[in-house]
Amino acid sequence: MLRIKGSDKNPLSRKAAKTLAESVKQQSVKKENYEKKRNTIATLFSREGGENRTDRFGILSENNRKSKYVGARNEGDEVSQTREYDRNNLFEKESELLGMQKASKAVAYTLREMIKYAQAGMTTKELDEYGAKILSDFGANSAPHLTYGFPSWNCISVDNEFCHGIPSEKRILKEGDLINIDVSAELDGFWADNGASFVIGKDINQHQKLVDASKEIL
């Protein structure tokens, strides 16, 4: 237990210590609730009979996006698990779960296809427009553009660009570039976000070690 004491001679010190103690307690509760929801979501998207399966970009495979609990109606069909989600206030209705899955599928598929499409010699603007068409085919909108007027559909950052890079006709991808694509979308009132970092072509600049280390940290 964390004990924080203030000075008996200084009322302000006692008040500050009390405020700090309350803040630490609140953060502890928030962390506990976050851990519960994170574990529940991990269970929700796990495949029956095995743990999560991801490809080399850390994206859930097509067979693992559907929850084994969706549509459970009878005792013995994991309906108790569905009720557990309700208690954690993750989803109030099954339609909300399905809506979230639909939006998530759109961004995951778009990201996967953009990764396949990316190659040396093309501009980041060209890559962004390719992803925009895929999202549009799903009926989805660009979340950053919809929210705060981001000038492109997706965020594409190259090499020393930390994050949220703006696609440009002047930025041409080169062999060995370290690239990050962030796909965020809104679909039927549900929002989803996905991103991945990878190397264009051959790893001539030794960036893959950084990509691998980042995945291990996550």
**Contact indicator for 104, 65 with CB cutoff of 8 Å:** yes
Class of domain 106-217: alpha beta
pLDDT score for 4: 47
DSSP 181-208: EEEEEEETTEEEEEEEEEESSS-TT--H
User: How far apart are the C-alpha atoms of 56 and 211, rounded to whole Å?
Assistant: 11
Question: pLDDT value at position 161?
Answer: 87
Q: Which parts of the chain register pLDDT below 70?
A: 1-21, 23-91
CA distance 157 to 181: 7
Find the DSSP H helices in the chain. Answer: 11-44, 79-87, 94-117, 124-138, 143-148, 208-217
CA angle 148, 150, 154 (to 5 degrees): 125
Quote the pLDDT of residue 218. 78
- How far is residue 198's CA from residue 156's CA, in Å, rounded to a whole number? 12
H/E stretch holding 142: strand 141-142
Sign of CA dihedral 203, 209, 214, 216: positive
Phi, psi of 73 (to 5 degrees): -125, -30
Label residue 126 left, alpha or beta by phi (over 0 means left) and psi (-120 to 50 means alpha): alpha
pLDDT at 158: 96
Residue from 183, 177, 181 nearest 199 by CA: 177
Helix (H) or strand (E) holding 156: strand 155-158
Residue with tokens 């961004």: 107
Give me 57's structure tokens. Answer: 């970009």
Confidence at residue 111, expressed as pLDDT on a 0 to 100 scale: 97
